Amino acid sequence: MKSLSWISMNRLVIHIIYIAFLFFLSVIETGALCQSPAERISKVLNKQHSNLDSLIINGESDLKVMRAHKRLAWTYLNQLGNITEAEKYNTKADSMAYAMGDTSAMAETKTIQGRINFRKGYFSSALADHQRALDLKVALKDTGRMAYSMRLIGMVFEAQKKYDKALEFYNEGMELREAKGDAEGATLFFMNMAQCHLELDNVEKARIYANKAVTNTRDSTRQAAKCITMLGRIDMKTGNYDRALNKLKRAESYMLLKGPEIELAEIKGYVAKALMLTSDFNKAEIKAKESYELAKRNNHPEFIIRALTSLKEIAFKKKDLERAYEIAEEIKIRQDSFYKREEMLKSLDFESLYKAKEKENTIVQLESERRALESQIQVRNREKRMMFLIIILLIISLAGIVGFYLFKRSKEKQLEQRDDIIQNQKAQQIIHERKSIRMQSLIEGQEQERTRISRDIHDGLGGLLSATKAQLLNPDNNTNKVHELIDQACEEVREITQNLMPVSLKTVGLKGAIEDLIRKTECLPIKIKSEISIEEKYDEHIALNVYRVIQELINNVVKHAKAKNLLVQVLHADEEVKILIEDDGVGYNALIQNGGMGIKNVNARVELLNGDINIDTAENIGTTVNIDIPVIGKNNTAL
């Protein structure tokens, strides 16, 4: 019994020690996890810089120094997104690898440079670098790294929206991974293929490859986050926004633990989109801003533009148009900068880029032979001096040609200005002449009107009053006769007053006045058809002149046209009074000969009202007069 209790006690002690050890490890791990990503990266970076300095000071081999440069390039690119520093250290590593003839290292530096150019948006250069790296890896028969280069080439084609081409490289790389039994490596290809099919709207294929990626993931928080992100994007594509949001938030929480900031920026961007689709614009704005800050800190132009696009859409949804337009301007500036270099490089084929790079490497290799080329350099310098003199002469000649052209152009401009002044003077003269003719016509019309009124008063009213006076002086006067003469005199006064200013214009308006004028004309031996469809009241100035124009035209037809039928149409349309007077009389020539002053008065009044008149006539066929007079605008106003 004692031995058994002793054994039990030993086991208990061992268990306690084991639990204490696990607790100690967890405390250490927790302390490491408490460090922020920035602190962890800073510590790694400081260690790598110290290592590089130590290698240089201690005179270590070029191979070690080259590898230290390469590690720094990877850290700056992947962890900090600092492509300037990454390119600096990678360029040094590349030149050292070339000098050593290390094909494997050259393949890695070409891969890094391709990723740097991809981040810059220089897709053609990125393809050239990755293709060169792939060629070196093929020569090394390194299928694992060949698959990696194929994936990077596919990513460049994917960024250029050449999804079918990207899928070709992804398929080939995936087959290499599966042939090696690398299920974890194949996961990345499944993710890329899902992305391409999603962009091509092949949702079901995208879901299949995303599920394959999930199946192959082995306890990798970063890979799990990527897989969940893809499934969330698929849900967004199919309209399951709430489910998509839950997945994307879960992916964000995973990536917050260990993922690089740039990948976290991408996921936050998708979370912002999902929140927008669920109409939670305030939270969407917060996520989009977080994505923007991370992308900006890591110098990733594509993700910056994505975040800004989301912020612009949110601003539009929140009706903050001023902010939306500011963001749109920033997007345009960044897109121009992002694609400018790429557009310039599209015209270059990859072979020429390889040759250029090989030429640079050859120059480095042949630096020892520079002295042998000094004589050629001297010849080239002489040729350059000669070329410089030729260029100077060409510049002088070109300056003379440009000066002559400018002098000639100045003279031509002076002549054009003088011609414009002459044309303006002629135009002003024509306008003045037209105004003079119009005023003369109005004056002549007024004088005729005064002569007619004087004649009417003298012949009509004067005669009646004289007869009335004689009747009253007659001892045998007839009261009834006197009353009759007074009534006639009153009627004559009303007639004269009507001609001066039609009373009906004030009592029944323009429409009623025109209808009254037509009724008075119907007693004459001419058949009149009329259509009057205008407003009840117009500005007094417009109404009086429109009435006088119609009166003058009807009088001309009645007196001079010898017409049997007359059509009078007055309409209000498009803020204009449209007048049509049409007869089947003797035509325009006879009308001008017999009633020319009336036509001049009509023209003068129409021009006074800023209207347009068109007379269509032929001898013995009749006359059609079309007049359009604005009643709103052009200084005319309808009441």
Q: What is the pLDDT of residues 548-560, one digit of tens each?
A: 889 888 888 888 8
Instruction: Report angle CA 96, 102, 106 to the nearest 5 degrees.
Output: 70
**Beta carbons within 8 Å of 539's beta carbon, 6+ residues apart:** 631, 636, 637, 638, 639
Amino acid of residue 77? L
Of the segments 294-308, 338-352, 594-608, 623-637, which one has the largest average pLDDT value?
A: 294-308
pLDDT > 50? residue 595: no
Average pLDDT value for residue range 390-396:
91
Residue whose C-alpha is closest to residue 231's, from 313, 219, 165, 217 = 217
CA–CA dist 454, 499 (Å, integer): 12
Lowest mean pLDDT, pick from 5-19, 103-117, 426-440: 5-19
pLDDT given at position 634? 46
CA–CA dist 306, 291 (Å, integer): 9
pLDDT given at position 140? 87
CA–CA dist 479, 258 (Å, integer): 127
pLDDT tens per residue, range 479-516: 666 666 576 667 666 666 555 557 777 778 888 888 88
DSSP assignments along 297-327, one per residue: HTT-HHHHHHHHHHHHHHHHHTT-HHHHHHH
DSSP assignments along 347-397, one per residue: TS-HHHHHHHHHHHHHHHHTGGGTGGGHHHHHHHHHHHHHHHHHHHHHHHH
Residue whose C-alpha is closest to residue 52's, from 108, 93, 101 = 93
CA–CA dist 255, 80 (Å, integer): 16
pLDDT given at position 364? 43
More confident residue, 597 or 27: 597
Cβ pair 537, 509 in contact under 8 A: yes
* Pair of tokens at residue 87: 């390119």
Question: What is the gyration radius of the CA atoms in the chain, in angstroms?
Answer: 49
More confident residue, 152 or 477: 152
pLDDT given at position 571? 92
More confident residue, 371 or 572: 572
Band the pLDDT of 18: cuts 50, 70, 90: very low
**Beta carbons within 8 Å of 134's beta carbon, 6+ residues apart:** 146, 149, 150, 153
pLDDT > 50? residue 24: no
Amino acid of residue 221? T
More confident residue, 340 or 187: 187
Percent of the chain clearing pLDDT 90 (strictly above): 14
What angle, 0 to 180 degrees and rounded to 10, lies between the N-to-C axes of helices 281-297 and 261-277?
160
Percent of the chain clearing pLDDT 70 (strictly above): 73
Extents of the domains making up the chain: 387-500, 505-630
pLDDT tens per residue, range 73-91: 988 888 777 888 999 999 9
pLDDT given at position 330? 85
pLDDT given at position 558? 84
pLDDT given at position 186? 81
Residue whose C-alpha is closest to residue 131's, from 346, 354, 358 = 354
Decide if domain 505-630 falls under CATH 3.30.565.10.
yes
CB 9: neighbour CB atoms within 10 A? 10
